[in-house]
């Protein structure tokens, strides 16, 4: 597909001297755009999921990093770089699981080191340019993921997806949702089952909103409906995104992904993870070492500001789970579909 698909959503944008984000905490009720001019506000936006989804967090962190280092007044490279590391560490502390955050910041730090002989003001400009490049590359990467993934989608496929992996979560198009956009654009008669995705409802608030804007047939389900739909033969394919993939293919994604993978196996359904190579962490041999973000109990004990659990009820709220690689049929990446054995095949693509 040569032409761009108009998903009409720009979740993050660089504007002259600041970043504009579509604040995802207000969706689907209101489209609120917020201008971010300093690194502290960017940290807060990432932490509070105003901007979210692994690739989008990487892009946001890259712009946030520039906002942080642009104010630095150090004159020598050495003292400048000490502060640069501090800014990167600070941003990285916002959310631990999605490796794209770390990946983008490492790339920017390496770029700075490669230009250590230049004036510091020039280095700052190079950082902004690289942040824009990371953003542009993600748009192209997501388009490729959509094109490759489309080859796996039958003409009348019923696809089940979890969380939000669309334009909101990336530079554009998304990962698993990019496949869905591309299949729809190719005039396939697809139908999407959208998991609501407890507790923050990325499925019902964000994915349903994106798909309805694009006029793609979809139905919202509670997370616990997925198994029964599969059992009744109403799902052909499960497709999700990823926050971090270990070298062996073990995958961290939104909590509730692992049970979907087990259910897919039980019901003989293909289970695909769509993710760019920037989400693959070849430094981790398997999923055991992936840090899992734990969020406030209030996200479970309250709903829309109202209590839905007894006062002082204790709650456990991990934001992600790990799907062992043996449940994953394949990875849909910008370089193509990667099949098992994943460790060998990832390495081959990276050569």
CB of 157 to ligand MRU, least distance (A): 20
Using alpha carbons, select from 330, 326, 323, 327 the residue that is nearest to residue 292.
Answer: 323
Residue indicated by tokens 């190719």: 186
Report the alpha-carbon angle 19-60-245, nearest 5.
165
Does residue 165 belong to the site contacting ligand MRU (CB under 6 A)? Answer: yes
170 binds ligand MRU (CB under 6 A): yes
For residue 241, the minimal CB distance to ligand MRU (Å) is 3
- Position of tokens 């089940």? 160
Compare residues 39 and 243 and give the one whose CB is closer to ligand MRU.
Answer: 243
Binding residue per annotation — 254? yes
Establish whether 253 is an annotated binding residue: yes
232 marked as binding residue = no
Q: Which is nearer to ligand MRU, 101 or 123 (CB)?
A: 101
Nearer to ligand MRU, 195 or 346 (CB): 195
Residue pair 182/1 in contact by the 8 Å Cβ criterion:
yes
Q: Distance between CA 333 and CA 93 in Å, rounded?
A: 27
52 is in an annotated binding site: yes
Query: With binding defined as CB under 6 A, does residue 287 bind ligand MRU?
Result: no
Active site residue 243: yes
Q: Which of 23, 138, 195, 243 is catalytic?
A: 243
Instruction: Give ∠ CA 330-203-61 in degrees, rounded to 5.
Output: 75
How many positions of this chain bind ligand MRU (CB under 6 A)?
A: 19
x-marked contacts with ligand MRU along 250-279 as a string, rule CB under 6 A: ---xx-------------------------
37 is known to lie in a ligand binding site? no
H or E segment to which residue 21 belongs: strand 18-22
- Render 262-329 in DSSP notation, one character per residue: HHHHHTT--EEEE--GGGEETT-SSGGGS---B--THHHHEETTEE-S-TT-----BSEEEE-GGG--
Instruction: Provide the binding-site residues for ligand MRU, judged by CB under 6 A.
Output: 49, 52-55, 98, 163, 165, 169-170, 174-175, 202, 241-243, 253-254, 319
């Amino acid at each position: 597909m040569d032409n761009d698909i108009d998903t009409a959503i720009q979740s993050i944008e660089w504007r002259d001297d600041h970043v504009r984000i579509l604040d995802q905490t207000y969706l689907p009720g209101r489209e609120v755009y917020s201008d971010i001019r300093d690194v502290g506000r960017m940290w807060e936006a990432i932490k509070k999921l105003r901007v979210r989804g692994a690739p989008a967090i990487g892009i946001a962190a890259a712009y946030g990093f520039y906002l942080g280092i642009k104010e630095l007044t150090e004159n020598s490279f050495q003292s400048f770089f000490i502060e640069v590391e501090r800014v990167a560490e600070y941003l990285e502390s916002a959310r631990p699981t999605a490796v794209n955050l770390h990946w983008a910041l490492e790339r920017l730090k390496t770029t700075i080191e490669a230009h250590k002989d230049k004036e510091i003001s020039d280095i700052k400009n190079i950082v902004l340019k690289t942040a824009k490049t990371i953003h542009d590359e993600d748009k192209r990467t997501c388009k490729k993921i959509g094109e490759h993934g489309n080859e796996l989608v039958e003409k009348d496929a019923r696809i089940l997806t979890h969380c939000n992996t669309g334009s909101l979560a990336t530079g554009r198009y998304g990962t698993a949702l990019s496949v869905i956009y591309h299949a729809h654009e190719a005039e396939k008669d697809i139908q999407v089952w959208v998991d609501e995705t407890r507790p923050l409802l990325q499925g019902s608030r964000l994915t349903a909103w994106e798909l309805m804007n694009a006029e793609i047939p979809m139905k919202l389900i509670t997370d616990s409906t997925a198994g029964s739909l599969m059992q009744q033969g109403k799902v052909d394919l499960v497709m999700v995104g990823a926050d971090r993939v270990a070298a062996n293919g073990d995958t961290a994604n939104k909590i509730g992904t692992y049970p979907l993978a087990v259910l897919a196996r039980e019901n003989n359904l293909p289970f695909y993870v769509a993710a760019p190579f920037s989400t693959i962490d070849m430094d981790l041999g398997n999923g055991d070492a992936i840090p899992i973000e734990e969020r406030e109990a209030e996200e479970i004990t309250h709903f829309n500001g109202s209590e839905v659990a007894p006062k002082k009820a204790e709650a456990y709220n991990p934001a992600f789970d790990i799907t062992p690689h043996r449940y994953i049929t394949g990875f849909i990446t910008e370089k193509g579909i990667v099949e098992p054995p994943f460790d060998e095949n990832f390495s081959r693509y990276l050569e």
